[in-house]
Structure 1
Amino acid sequence: MHKIRLATVDDAATISRQRRLMFADNFSRTEQEFDQLEAAFTEWVTPRLADGSYLGWFAVEDDTILAACGLWIMDFLPHWMDIAPARGYLTNFYTAPAARGRGLAKELLRISVEECKKRGIGVVTLHASKFGRPIYERFGFAQNNEMILRLNEDTQGWE
């Protein structure tokens, strides 16, 4: 039987490793690129774990992490969807291949959303992988009108 535990600052490297595994399931990158991502995320997440703006949960069984997720509580401008100056951003959902299909991601999702409710956060966002999209849609998440411009990539159409 698994248990859920809250992440601590000491888990920063573990969270970063889980994030790497999550991205490796979805994107092709070199080991060097994944190494850079993992190091940069550890540096980013450590102070946020310390100040409580990033919360992470692990589903653990026999000292083995089966699944994990994170909630970044972002400072966000009051908005027509929610005037509260915060937004929940769900991230780093990853379930080890051997533990998939047991409902762990769904359980972690419920815990994350409940935490947002407790804090009075009215809008929760995420970026869904092809694996996670059906879970999030069943939970009530919907696509919105957000657009993106990636300034670190070659942009077209500026003529």
Structure 2
Amino acid sequence: MFSEMKIGDPSEFDAYASEFREFATQAMTSGTFHSWLAETELGEVAGGGAIMVVPWPANPKHRQQQRAFLLNVFTEPAFRRQGIARTLVQAIMDWCRGQGFGSVFLHASEAGRPLYQSMGFQPTTELRFDF
């Protein structure tokens, strides 16, 4: 996923994967990270996505004191254009709705933006500063 998006140094991807596994294990145990996989009938992973639940102060629009961030939605190249990402995102959104979240936030790649917008996601005023 990150290689296709040209994010990061490919020589560091193994170290990143190890760090991510450690993080995900702890976060799943604490209930702040939830992931979904799409598999073929043969058990091949065709895609996946996740939600990170983070503490957040309530405000008049969002009373729940946590937010759901959608991340790491990816479909393996051999399975693209078959509705897998849409199905994953819909399943994740259904879960979030069932958990009482009033909205879901994400940072979309350029490739993913059309999918999210077609599902009703709206651009926001968020800005970012990278060091």
Matched, 1:126 2:103: no
- Structure 2 equivalent of residue 15 of structure 1: none
Q: Deviations over 1:92-142 (max 9, x none)?
A: 111010000110000010011111111111121011112211010001111
Aligned match of 1:48: 27
Aligned to 1:37: 16
Sequence identity (%): 28
Point out the structure with max Rg over C-alpha: 1
2:77: which partner in 1? 97
Structure 2, unmatched stretches of 5+, are: none
Instruction: Report if aligned partners of 1:81, 1:123 keep a CA contact under 8 Å in 2.
Output: no
TM-score by length of 2: 0.92
Q: Could you state the TM-score of these two structures normalised by the residue count of structure 1?
A: 0.77
User: Matched residue of 1:23: which SS?
Assistant: coil
Partner of 1:107: 87
1:86 paired with 2:86, answer no
Residues in 1 aligned to 2:68 and 2:123: alpha-carbon distance in whole angstroms: 16
**Separation in structure 2 between the aligned mates of residue 51 and residue 27 of structure 1, nearest angstrom:** 31
- Structure 1 unaligned regions, length at least 5: 1-21, 154-159
Q: Which residue of 2 aligns with 1:10?
A: none
Q: Do 1:53 and 1:72's aligned partners in 2 also have CA atoms closer than 8 Å? A: yes
The Cα RMSD (Å) is: 1.3
Which amino acid in 2 is paired with 1:70? A
